Amino acid sequence: MAFASDIQNSARTLVRPGFFADLQERFARYRLYRQTVNELSALSGRDLADLGICRAQIRARAYEVAYGDQA
């Protein structure tokens, strides 16, 4: 039965420490990105112009808000 116990032990080590915390942080950043896109998309063209943003820049600006300037 050494084979069966080896399978169980290797299954426990597949998830690295901090995996779920990292996953939670990534999901929170994605939610912030989607919320920002939705809120900016709901604004009128005049409101966006007041902010200095055109519609083509909405996703890029939302990405900067959620993930920083990594692009």
> pLDDT by residue (tens digit) across 6-61?
555 555 567 788 999 999 999 999 999 999 999 999 999 999 999 999 999 999 99
Q: What is the pTM of this model?
A: 0.74
Provide φ and ψ at 50, rounded to 5°: -60, -35
Question: CB-side exposure of 7: number of CA atoms within 13 Å?
Answer: 3
- Answer yes or no: are the C-beta atoms of 68 and 57 closer than 8 Å: no
CA distance 59 to 63: 6
CA distance 26 to 9: 28
